[in-house]
Amino acid sequence: MSVIKTRHPNDNEIQTLQRIWSTAFGTVGMDSFYKYIFNKEMCLVADVKNKPVAMGHLIPNGDIVLCDSSIKCAMIYSVATLPGNRGKGLGTAIVNDLITLSRELGYSSAVLCPSDDELFTYYSQRSELIDWFFVNEQVFNMAPDSSNIITPIKITACEYTSIREGLLKGVVHIKHDLSVLEYQEKLCMELGGGLFRIGDSCAVIERQQDKSIWVKELLTPDLKVLDVTTDVNTVDIIASIAELFPSKEYTIRLPSQSGMWRRFGMLAFPDSLPDSLTKTGFAPWYGIAFD
In the chain, the DSSP E strands lie at 6-7, 43-48, 51-65, 70-81, 109-112, 130-140, 153-154, 173-176, 194-198, 201-207, 213-219, 250-254, 262-268
Asked if the model's pLDDT at residue 1 lies above 50, the reply is no
Residues 140 and 182 in one domain: yes
Classify 49 in phi/psi space as left (phi over 0), alpha (psi -120 to 50) or beta: left
Asked if the model's pLDDT at residue 284 lies above 80, the reply is yes
> What domain range is 38 assigned to?
6-134+262-278
Residues 81 and 179 in one domain: no
**Chain segment 108-161, per-residue pLDDT in tens:** 999 999 988 999 999 999 999 999 999 989 888 887 788 889 999 999 999 999
What's the rounded mean pLDDT across residues 195-204?
96
CATH number of the structural domain spanning residue 223? 3.40.630
pLDDT band at 22 (very low <50, low <70, confident <90, very high): very high
**86 domain residue, yes or no:** yes
**290 domain residue, yes or no:** no
pLDDT band at 224 (very low <50, low <70, confident <90, very high): low
Burial category of 155 from C-beta neighbours within 10 Å (exposed 0-12, middle 13-18, buried 19 and up): middle
* Mean pLDDT value across the chain: 91
Q: State residue 152's pLDDT score.
A: 96
**66 domain residue, yes or no:** yes
Residues 129 and 142 in one domain: no
The structural domain count of the chain equals 2
**1 domain residue, yes or no:** no
Residues 148 and 248 in one domain: yes
**284 domain residue, yes or no:** no
Bridge partners, 135 (sequence order): 262
**Chain segment 54-88, per-residue pLDDT in tens:** 999 999 999 999 877 899 999 999 999 999 999 99
Measured N-to-C along each axis, helices 117-126 and 90-104 cross at an angle, to the nearest 10 degrees, of 70
276: number of Cβ within 10 Å: 12
Q: Are 210 and 111 in contact (CB under 8 A)?
A: no
**120 domain residue, yes or no:** yes
Residues 173 and 203 in one domain: yes
Distance from C-alpha of 80 to C-alpha of 78, rounded to nearest angstrom: 6
CATH number of the structural domain spanning residue 89? 3.40.630.30
Phi, psi of 136 (to 5 degrees): -90, 105
Q: State residue 100's pLDDT score.
A: 97
